[in-house]
Amino acid sequence: MLKRIYAIFRARNLEFIRDRGTLSWNIILPVSLMFGLSFIFSSDRAEYTVGVLQNDPVIDASAHPFLESRYIDFVAVTERQGGLRRVQRHQLDLLVEFGDQPQYWINPDSPKGYFVEFALLQADEAAGGNITKSQVTGDAVRYVDWVLPGILGMNVMFSSLFGVGYVVVRYRKNGFLKRLRATPLRAIEFVIAQVASRLLLILVITSFVYAGTNYFLQTRMDGSYLVLLIVLLVGSISMISMGLMVAARVTSEELAGGLLNMVTWPMMMLSGVWFSLEATNAWIQKIAAIFPLTHMLGAARAVMLDGAGVAEIMPQLTTLLAMSAVFLAFGAFTFRWHPR
């Protein structure tokens, strides 16, 4: 019995080791994740976040003694209305502008703003004490309101990438694609059918989940449902296309799994699913911009939390459509019907 077990054990090990692609991803993926996560969370996250209204995206800590305070994250805010909206929603504990007429805005309902104001006034007194106070009011955006688009988006991502990419690889491996190749069906027709099928599934499931969540948790929706549907549609198409691109030539299910994990995990960590990346390194934010999920979540949150219309989220929609076109074109061009 042991001999038989060993024979199978050895054969499986050889199979795994000789599948270079899978082996590589099994090593590269966890290592990349470890390095990536350790980098993202390398700095201690501060308890308080203060927006500094200025044109320069880099904050000069010598501009005011308050900016040298410890345990406070200072985030450059270049647009006043946006900054005030974030104070209203408790996303910033306080917004401050240093200049000829220094002033700050605070939400009187924000407990953390109350403490940060003490620190500001103490520091300002040392600097001359001429800062002006203004108040803005608004309810805090609950974490559940903020994270809901992230969770729905993550679900769309997994459904798109694994539901299409993995299945296409399986079809290719077991010869079903080869059988379809022997019919008048063209590659682009197959690709479109896959996109359409998965899109319908995603729309139905996501709408159902959203409706249920909204009913039980009374989640925030400041914008139009139609605009949100457009975001879902465009975002889903881009991620399904991405799945098809990944699966265009792969013939091993294990390699496909590795590749899809390689795509989905960074998106899950860097696209703002669970937490905002505003306080992270600027170039991490630039990397995040290459992922469709980042743009989809940005647009969805703008609609749900800020009441944005189509015009305001046009940059994200355009980016997603452009990504879809590139992914689909590449996927259709490199598509392989059967393993060689």
Partner 1 sequence: MVARRAGNLQAPVGSGYENCMAQGTLTTFSGRNFQRMQIALEAKNLVKQYPGVLAVDDVSFAVREGICFGLLGPNGAGKTTTVEIMEGVTPATSGDVWYYGSPAGTRFREEAGIQFQNTALQDFITVRETLEMFQSLYDRKADINHIIEQCSLQGLLKRDNRKLSGGQRQRLLLAVALVNKPRLVFLDEPTTGLDPQARRNFWDLVKNIRAEGTTVILTTHYMEEAEILCDEIAIMDAGKIIIQGSPDDLLKKHYKNTIIELPLNDFTGDLATLDHRVIESLGLIEIETNDVNDSLRKLAAATSGLNRMKIRQPNLEDLFLDLTGHSLRA
Token readout for 149 is 């688009």
Window of 31-39, 78-86, 136-144, 174-182 that interacts with partner 1 by CB under 8 A: 174-182
The span from the CA of 197 to the CA of 136, in Å, is 47
Residue 164 has which token pair?
């299409």
For residue 115, give the H/E element and its range: helix 111-127
Nearer to partner 1, 99 or 184 (CB): 184
The Cα–Cα gap between 312 and 309 comes to 5
Least CB distance from residue 253 to partner 1, whole Å? Answer: 13
Q: Which of residues 112, 142, 181, 249 is near partner 1 by CB under 8 A?
A: 181
Strand intervals (E) in the chain: 48-53, 72-77, 94-97, 103-106, 132-135
Closer residue to partner 1 (CB): 80 or 186: 186
Burial of 143 (0-12, 13-18, 19+ CB in 10 A): exposed
Which CB, 177 or 303, lies closer to partner 1?
Answer: 177
If binding is defined by CB under 8 A, does position 179 make contact with partner 1? yes
Q: Is 175 in the site for partner 1 (CB under 8 A)?
A: yes
Kindly state whether residue 249 participates in binding partner 1, applying the rule CB under 8 A: no
User: Shortest gap between Cβ of 170 and partner 1 (angstroms)?
Assistant: 9
Q: How far apart are CA 87 and CA 158, in angstroms?
A: 33
Shortest spacing between CB 256 and partner 1, in angstroms: 16
Of the candidates 15, 327, 22, which has an alpha carbon nearest to the alpha carbon of residue 161? Answer: 327
The least distance separating partner 1 from the CB of residue 173, rounded to whole angstroms, comes to: 9
Is 28 or 200 the residue whose CB approaches partner 1 more closely? 200
> Which residue ranges make up the site for partner 1 (CB under 8 A)?
171, 174-176, 178-185, 337-338
